[in-house]
């Protein structure tokens, strides 16, 4: 129904940036993030030697970012719209000539900027620590890693803003944030086991594969392709997979790294690492689009 | 063209009817008082006007534009003081106004706007530390951004002391003289009485009266009491007044300053002429006019006789 206006989006983003950047809760969590990145960098520096590569550094730091970035993003997006509806200030916003789409997009842009700022500060701290103790990380790889991490944060932020737009209550919105956290930190991890069990029970059949490990041939049944795909939907997994697109990040634990042996007829496109990058983009676009469609219709 | 045209507006929330077939118009250039007790549907009407809520039936047009389809265009020309909203705690008054100015692509000066509402000294303080009245002044300043053609003020006196309420009324007059149409909602009659050209009274989602302030007073002036001090009580004069068709009762007060107390539904001057014609000298008279407050109560309570008696 409503349209998008660039001036409106910019005005809302500016206002929201100024507002969110002054939130102590946000900076409290950011500080924790700085500390963890700094510590990870310090550990690399302390235990590392001349052979320690950028890949090792990013491997460690990405463990931190994968867990902490969603927390920062969820907290940052939590009250973005529900808070304005609860306090009534959404009426101030929408008394001005903005459409509701402008509001959602402006909020997203404003808070994504705040989030990027926080992440950049953290990564500069990490880089300085490593540079002082060992050697500076490879610029191109580090930049790619930062960009991908920001994208990951923005994906979670999109989920948070979308959920924040569905309710007038910051309490309910908070519960929704917690729900997302539980979903991707607990439920999704269990899903793998659940699928495995269901497969073993014979509810669906997997794929018989032969893999050579330490010279021994092992035969077992792996999850079917769709079962593996389900795992890659988790933004955290998608992030880890997408990171392996960056040259330096080829350490174990990154990427789907499915060996060709598991896929005699080739790895399907949707299980390849570049597809995980698309999944991240889908997380950025789809929840926001759904939220806009719904938010555009409700009574405030 | 009318500034606001409400046509057959109905709004239901589930089974609750907030507005029932509401129709009225606000003329361009007037100050319209939108009056009604809390819960009568004033805010719902304003919510539909600003596209915060969607009508169940009917429509509102502002400057001839549909509030659903052309909301953005309408809000470009409208300044709004919403009711019961908070300002942004972490932003200063200047930042609030910069936001409104950017949003409307206007070129107002935040300091000038704040001086108009008497908040210039708090310009660089965060709104989180403001009193209710200060927040209200800030919101009013935001509503003035971009010289709007229409001002929608929802319960603008909320949180203001009597002095603040008077300043607010002065601003309404200034804006109206500049050419703005003002749509002003309130549940307090005296706020409206002083500034409004016309008043609409809303009750249970229906408009029960729309008229000028004096027109409304006349419409409920069923029992105005006239107290006429005379040089002497003349029985003939009393009889002549009593026989007037609109007069409902006549009492006589004897004593140092004799007076004839007349309750009439008609013209008060006619009563005075009648007494003079009968040969009495009228020394003084006072009327007990119906205040707009009573008009309001008359229209918004069921026990209307009690009020007008």
Minimal Cα–Cα distance from A180 to chain B, Å? 27
Q: Does A300 sit within 8 Å of B53, measured CB to CB? A: yes
The shares of helix, strand and coil residues in chain A, as percent rounded to the nearest 5, are 70, 5, 25
Between B145 and B288, residue with greater pLDDT: B145
Q: Which residue of B has its CA nearest to A90?
A: B85
The pLDDT of residue B307:
40
- Probe site for chain B from A15, A92, A102, A295 (most B CB atoms < 10 A): A92
Strand partners, B263: B225, B249
10 Å CB burial of residue A251 (0-12, 13-18, 19+) is middle
Q: Does A3 sit within 8 Å of B52, measured CB to CB? A: no
Q: Does A91 sit within 8 Å of B82, measured CB to CB? A: yes
Q: Does B86 sit within 8 Å of A88, measured CB to CB? A: yes
Between B233 and A105, residue with greater pLDDT: A105
Is residue B257's pLDDT more than 70?
A: yes
- From B51, B84, B91, residue closest to A18, measured CB to CB: B91
| pLDDT, tens digit (0-9, with 9 covering 90-100), for A26-54 | 889 899 999 999 999 999 888 887 777 78
Minimal Cα–Cα distance from B155 to chain A, Å? 14
d(CA B252, CA B260): 5
A278: phi > 0 → left, psi -120 to 50 → alpha, else beta; which?
alpha
For residue A7, which residues of chain B lie inside 8 Å, CB to CB? 102-103, 105
The pLDDT of residue B291:
62
| pLDDT, tens digit (0-9, with 9 covering 90-100), for B15-63 | 889 999 999 999 999 999 999 888 889 999 999 999 999 999 999 999 9
Minimal Cα–Cα distance from A86 to chain B, Å? 9
The pLDDT of residue B309:
34
Minimal Cα–Cα distance from A229 to chain B, Å? 42
Cβ-Cβ contacts under 8 Å for B17 (sequence gap 6 or more): B10, B11, B205
For residue A96, which residues of chain B lie inside 8 Å, CB to CB? 75, 99-100, 103-104
**Diameter of chain A by CA atoms?**
71
The pLDDT of residue B302:
59
- Does A87 contact B at CB distance below 8 Å? yes
B308: confidence class by pLDDT, cuts 50, 70, 90: very low
For residue A95, which residues of chain B lie inside 8 Å, CB to CB? 50, 75, 78-80, 82, 143, 152
d(CA B304, CA A101): 48
Query: According to the per-residue pLDDT averaged within each range, which of A239-253, B122-136, B259-273 is highest?
Result: B122-136
What CA–CA distances, in Å, run from A125 to A25, A28, A34, A130, A136? 20, 16, 7, 9, 12
Overall average pLDDT of the A188-201 stretch:
89
Mean pLDDT for chain A overall? 88
Helix (H) or strand (E) run with residue A52 in it = none
| pLDDT, tens digit (0-9, with 9 covering 90-100), for B194-235 | 889 999 999 888 888 898 887 877 766 556 678 888 888 888
Q: Give the three-state DSSP class for A6.
A: helix
Which candidate, B201, B184, B182, B216, places its Cα nearest to that of B291?
B216
For residue A91, which residues of chain B lie inside 8 Å, CB to CB? 50, 52, 80, 82, 85
Which candidate, A64, A181, A160, places its Cα nearest to that of A115?
A160
- Probe site for chain B from A95, A98, A107 (most B CB atoms < 10 A): A95
Which candidate, A268, A266, A279, A274, places its Cα nearest to that of A244?
A274
Contact by Cβ (8 Å): B200, B5: no
Interface pTM, i.e. ipTM: 0.86
Angle at B221 between CA B220 and CA B224, to 5 degrees: 150
Overall average pLDDT of the A168-181 stretch:
94
Helix (H) or strand (E) run with residue A193 in it = helix A188-200
- Residue A167 corresponds to which tokens in the numbers above? 């309710």
Specify the DSSP class assigned to residue B291: P
d(CA B93, CA A274): 47
Specify the DSSP class assigned to residue A186: I
A119: confidence class by pLDDT, cuts 50, 70, 90: very high
- From B51, B85, B102, residue closest to A89, measured CB to CB: B85
Overall average pLDDT of the A55-71 stretch:
88
Q: Does B99 sit within 8 Å of A14, measured CB to CB? A: yes
B6: confidence class by pLDDT, cuts 50, 70, 90: very high
Which candidate, B246, B226, B223, places its Cα nearest to that of B295?
B223
- From A14, A23, A300, residue closest to B102, measured CB to CB: A14
Is residue A214's pLDDT more than 90?
A: no
- All structural domains of chain B, each given as residue ranges with its CATH number in brackets, are 2-218 (3.40.50.300), 222-288 (3.30.70.100)
- Does A92 contact B at CB distance below 8 Å? yes
Which candidate, B299, B60, B36, places its Cα nearest to that of B189?
B36
- Residue B174 corresponds to which tokens in the numbers above? 């200034």
- From A19, A89, A97, residue closest to B76, measured CB to CB: A97
Q: Which residue of B has its CA nearest to A17?
A: B91
Q: Does A99 sit within 8 Å of B78, measured CB to CB? A: no
The pLDDT of residue B303:
44
Query: What does the radius of gyration of chain A's CA atoms come to, in whole angstroms?
Result: 21
Q: Does B86 sit within 8 Å of A87, measured CB to CB? A: yes
Range list of β-strands (E), A122-193: none
Q: Does B75 sit within 8 Å of A97, measured CB to CB? A: yes
Contact by Cβ (8 Å): A43, A129: no
The pLDDT of residue B223:
60
The order of strands in the sheet holding B206-212 is B78-81, B150-154, B181-186, B31-35, B198-203, B206-212
For residue B68, which residues of chain A lie inside 8 Å, CB to CB? 1
Is residue A242's pLDDT more than 70?
A: yes
d(CA B54, CA B48): 6
DSSP symbols for B200-216: EEEETTEEEEEEEHHHH
Contact by Cβ (8 Å): A210, A219: yes
Query: In B105-161, which ranges are continuous DSSP H helix?
Result: 110-116, 132-144
Q: Exposure pattern of A107-122 as b/e (b: 16+ CB <10 Å)?
A: bbbbbbbbbbebbeeb
Mean pLDDT for chain B overall? 87
- Does A294 contact B at CB distance below 8 Å? no
- From A10, A22, A97, residue closest to B72, measured CB to CB: A97
Residue in the block written with tokens 């429509």:
B59
The shares of helix, strand and coil residues in chain B, as percent rounded to the nearest 5, are 40, 30, 30
B122: phi > 0 → left, psi -120 to 50 → alpha, else beta; which?
alpha
B158: confidence class by pLDDT, cuts 50, 70, 90: confident
Minimal Cα–Cα distance from A122 to chain B, Å? 24
Q: Does A10 sit within 8 Å of B103, measured CB to CB? A: no
| Chain A 3-62, residues with CB within 8 Å of chain B CB atoms | 3, 5, 7-8, 10-12, 14-15, 18-19, 22-23
């Amino acid at each position: 129904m409503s349209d998008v206006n660039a001036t409106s989006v910019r005005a809302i983003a500016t206002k929201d940036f100024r507002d969110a950047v002054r939130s102590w809760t946000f900076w409290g969590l950011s500080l924790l993030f700085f500390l963890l990145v700094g510590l990870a960098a310090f550990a690399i520096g302390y235990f590392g030697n001349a052979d320690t590569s950028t890949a090792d550094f990013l491997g460690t730091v990405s463990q931190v970012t994968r867990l902490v970035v969603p927390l920062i993003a969820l907290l940052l997006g939590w009250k973005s719209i529900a808070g304005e509806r609860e306090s009534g200030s959404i009426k101030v916003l929408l008394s001005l000539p903005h459409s509701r789409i402008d509001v959602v997009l402006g909020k997203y842009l404003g808070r994504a900027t705040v989030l990027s700022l926080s992440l950049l500060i953290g990564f500069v701290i990490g880089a300085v620590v490593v540079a002082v103790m060992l050697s500076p990380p490879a610029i191109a790889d580090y930049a790619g890693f930062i960009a991908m991490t920001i994208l990951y944060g923005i994906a979670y932020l999109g989920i948070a803003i979308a959920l924040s737009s569905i309710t007038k209550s910051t309490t309910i919105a908070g519960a929704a944030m917690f729900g997302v956290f539980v979903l991707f930190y607990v439920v999704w991890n269990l899903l793998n086991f659940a699928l495995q069990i269901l497969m073993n029970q014979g509810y669906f059949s997997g794929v018989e594969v032969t893999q050579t490990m330490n010279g021994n041939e092992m035969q077992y049944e792996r999850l079917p392709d769709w079962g593996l795909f389900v795992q890659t939907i988790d933004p955290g997994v998608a992030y880890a997979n997408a990171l392996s697109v960056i040259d330096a990040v080829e350490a174990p634990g990154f990427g789907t790294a499915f060996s060709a042996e598991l896929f005699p007829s080739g790895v399907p496109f949707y299980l390849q690492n570049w597809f995980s990058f698309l999944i991240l983009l889908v997380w950025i676009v789809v929840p926001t689009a759904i939220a806009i469609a719904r938010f555009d219709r409700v009574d405030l | 063209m009318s500034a606001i045209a409400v046509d057959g507006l109905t709004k239901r929330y589930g089974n609750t009817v907030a507005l029932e077939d509401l129709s009225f118009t606000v003329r361009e250039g007037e100050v319209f008082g939108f009056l009604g007790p809390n819960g009568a549907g004033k805010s719902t009407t304003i919510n539909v006007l600003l596209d915060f809520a969607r009508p169940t039936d009917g429509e509102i047009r502002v400057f001839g534009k549909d509030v659903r389809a052309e909301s953005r265009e309408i809000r470009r020309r409208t300044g709004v003081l919403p009711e019961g909203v908070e300002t942004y705690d972490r932003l200063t008054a200047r930042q609030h106004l910069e936001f409104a100015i950017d949003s409307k692509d206007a070129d107002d000066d935040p300091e000038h706007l704040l001086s108009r509402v008497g908040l210039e000294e708090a310009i660089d303080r965060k709104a989180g530390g403001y009193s209710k009245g200060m927040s209200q002044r800030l919101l009013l300043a935001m509503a003035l951004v971009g010289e709007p053609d229409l001002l929608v003020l929802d319960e603008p006196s909320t949180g203001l002391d009597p002095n603040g309420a008077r300043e607010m009324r002065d601003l309404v007059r200034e804006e109206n003289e500049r050419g703005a149409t003002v749509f002003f909602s309130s549940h307090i009659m005296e706020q409206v009485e002083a500034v409004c050209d016309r008043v609409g009274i809303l009750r249970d989602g229906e408009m029960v009266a729309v008229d000028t302030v004096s027109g409304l007073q006349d419409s409920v002036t069923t029992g105005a009491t006239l107290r006429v001090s005379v040089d002497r009580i003349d029985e003939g004069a009393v009889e002549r007044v009593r026989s007037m068709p609109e007069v409902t009762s006549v009492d006589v007060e004897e004593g140092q300053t004799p007076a004839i107390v007349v309750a009439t539904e008609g013209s008060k001057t006619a009563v005075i002429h009648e007494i003079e014609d009968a040969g009495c000298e009228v020394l003084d008279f006072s009327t007990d006019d119906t205040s707009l407050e009573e008009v309001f109560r008359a229209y918004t309570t069921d026990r209307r006789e009690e009020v007008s008696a």
